[in-house]
């Protein structure tokens, strides 16, 4: 039996606690980071609070047992507890009202020694399947890559939605394409999956498209088109 305390009130803390409650061999307690003085005994303390609060919250933990945070962009050594440190980072986007399927989520684990890493692995395996050992530098690069494929991609969906609204077309027409674009890279590398006027260097279509966009959209269209074309030029020169 692994005794776990989850510290925090956000989406990650809530979903994680729910999952541990259903797991065999895990006993979980969730407490607010404001009540840190009343910490029960545990094998692992999971700090699931905002990045800025991790150092302060961890500094208040008196236990010598393992303390981990769940952040993609905070180094393991930012933890200020007196015992062992580690990271329990789940690379996924958590929403309040959406059920989380932990069996599909990658767990990126880091610890200061093999015993702790093994303990984190056992804990992750109790709710998930995809376990990776990722150090703090790798995790930071994963986090910035995630900004491109998640935050920025969602912003492109937003621009697509804006264009539809402006021209009185239902955005739902684009949803199967959005789904297929994401599904394609399961089997193709993104470089091989690239299609469209930019990679074909189809200047006529590019010009036509620009006439339909507002100034702000044009700037983004032009920059991303240039970025794609530069790949096509490199390819052709090989």
> Should residue 56 be labelled a site residue for a copy of itself when binding is judged by CB under 8 A?
no
> Should residue 91 be labelled a site residue for a copy of itself when binding is judged by CB under 8 A?
yes
> Should residue 235 be labelled a site residue for a copy of itself when binding is judged by CB under 8 A?
no
Let me know: does 59 contact 45? Beta carbons within 8 Å.
no
CA-based nearest residue to 57, from 26, 83, 34: 34
Site track 7-46 with a copy of itself (rule: CB under 8 A), x = hit: ----------------------------------------
Options 77, 95, 236, 237; binder of a copy of itself; rule CB under 8 A:
95
Angle between helices 153-166 and 215-237 (to 10 degrees): 130
CB of 199 to a copy of itself, least distance (A): 8
DSSP state of 83: S
CB of 232 to a copy of itself, least distance (A): 11
The residues in 132-191 that bind a copy of itself, with binding defined as CB under 8 A, are 132, 134, 137-138, 140-161, 163-164, 166-170, 173-191
> Should residue 227 be labelled a site residue for a copy of itself when binding is judged by CB under 8 A?
yes
Six token digits for residue 150: 């998640």
Residue written as tokens 């470089």? 191
CA gap 186, 105 in Å, rounded: 15
CB of 32 to a copy of itself, least distance (A): 21
Options 9, 63, 65, 73; binder of a copy of itself; rule CB under 8 A:
73
Q: How many CB atoms lie within 10 A of CB 58?
A: 23
CA-based nearest residue to 71, from 56, 98, 50: 50
Q: How many CB atoms lie within 10 A of CB 28?
A: 21
CB of 90 to a copy of itself, least distance (A): 10
DSSP state of 101: -
CB of 211 to a copy of itself, least distance (A): 9
């Amino acid at each position: 039996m692994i005794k776990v305390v989850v510290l925090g009130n956000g989406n990650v803390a809530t979903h994680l606690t729910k999952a541990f409650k259903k797991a065999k061999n895990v006993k979980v307690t969730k407490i607010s980071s404001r009540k840190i003085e009343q910490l029960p005994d545990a094998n692992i303390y999971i700090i699931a609070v905002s990045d800025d609060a991790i150092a302060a919250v961890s500094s208040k933990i008196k236990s010598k047992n393992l303390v981990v945070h769940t952040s993609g962009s905070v180094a393991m050594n930012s933890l200020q507890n007196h015992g062992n440190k580690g990271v329990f980072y789940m690379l996924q986007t958590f929403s309040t009202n959406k059920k989380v399927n932990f069996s599909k989520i990658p767990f990126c684990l880091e610890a200061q020694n093999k015993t702790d890493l093994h303990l984190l692995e056992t804990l992750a395996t109790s709710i998930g399947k995809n376990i990776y050992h990722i150090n703090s530098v790798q995790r930071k690069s994963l986090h910035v890559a995630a900004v491109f494929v998640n935050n920025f991609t969602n912003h492109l969906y937003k621009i697509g939605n804006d264009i539809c609204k402006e021209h009185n077309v239902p955005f739902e027409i684009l949803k199967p394409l959005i789904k297929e674009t994401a599904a394609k890279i399961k089997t193709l590398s993104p470089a091989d999956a690239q299609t469209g006027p930019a990679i074909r260097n189809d200047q006529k279509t590019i010009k036509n498209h620009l006439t339909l966009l507002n100034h702000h959209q044009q700037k983004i269209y032009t920059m991303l088109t240039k970025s794609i074309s530069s790949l096509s030029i490199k390819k052709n020169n090989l």
